[in-house]
Structure 1
């Protein structure tokens, strides 16, 4: 039977990561654990930075923003998946699906911009240390964070509004654990050319520009480090950049992995599994990367743990 256009859609079905009912408890336990680790780990970073006056610097201000963003990014997708598994109900309302597309795009783009801003902060700190306090003033840091949020919201809103104009077929199954923009577009019965053009333009321009900025920053950082004669200065430069570079590699590496997997395989379920690597794994690992690789964060975390245990 041919699917027919349906302009009024009440709900979609999220098929999740597996069809096997026996594997659902394992998937539920795994994602619940990952979500709790993500939320608690990133909250710990925020509390550690907020409670330590030595960390009230631009670098850690942006780290707090990144941690809050990671919590929001995971919260957009994982809780709904857990509820669906627990209730054995795969449905998500049309409004809920569009809202999820919007939310995921906002926080994914914001992650992209925040990483670029953090790269710029490291560039100024290492290449122009004498001008650092002049350039990275508190109001300028707040402005960078707000502009990043504004750009992310505008782009996500454009994608969401373009989705609202589409009509959908009666086949409304999404082979994913959340409403991903590309998967929702594939269900549309109407022409999605403009939507796809917007996706690629946003990907290459609004996604590529921040990545280019990060590369530009680190090229200059490397040249500045090579000109240093003090081994202590070189160690300090790499120690402050190592955590950020690891997070950047994780975020863009997993995103590229998802793109490659979707290009080489025709299985939507395989792509859904790969999407876990950019939507769930980086937010979970970022707190560990910063707390384990950064000496100042180690000290702040230890002091916070000591304060919590003494209070209890």
Structure 2
């Protein structure tokens, strides 16, 4: 039970909320009210408005973002499998005549690269760890098998595809018991944040390849500078959802106009190269979509800001 005691105050005495001077009367040195006219505050308010709009307009798609991202990530592997099955004879001829693969080894190589099972497992979230490992192996052996490992554009694009696969692995990571008691091991959260960091960094290499190749113009220079800033934000995890969303839009528009393989005649040799670049870019867009859905993880500026 509690009671209140009314103490009479002398007439004319003013009320003091801290009569004994216990409280700190010094002005606060912390965050002060924002100045609406400050350019920095205007940028912060504008970026906050963009983030809010992204959250609002992405709500209808948000339940489907993981499935969309996963499908887009493996779409380049599905296209590879379709290409191998429809061009089996041509693929064998190229491997045996130009890459000097022995008969039989070339057949096994093509069968390994037909990763329909692994791609399906990624989309359906079944045995994702094994599926991601298999697809990573395909990316590596393709580079050596087709002799493209020293091609800078191919190398940067495949680094981004690997980043997308790391995002898939992070999205599907589940806790496992220690294999050996007493041995140190990373927790699920620790492993997840390291894979997210690696995935974020690797995803941006596609845009670096875009900057390094092609003819320069004023529009390309502006797009490159803005894109590199967004890539840096993704890598360090600063406004990661906003910057990843921006890159999704930029890469999608660029992909449609630059890699429009459907407008090239079916017998033209450039058609297959454009189609390959188109589907690889879609895979990297899928990785960025997963980043928008999951966030940048613990090793990021965004996460550190929450602790202050």
Tell me the TM-score normalized by structure 2: 0.32
The structure with the larger Rg is 2
Bigger relative contact order, structure 1 or 2 (CA pairs below 8 A, ≥6 apart): 1
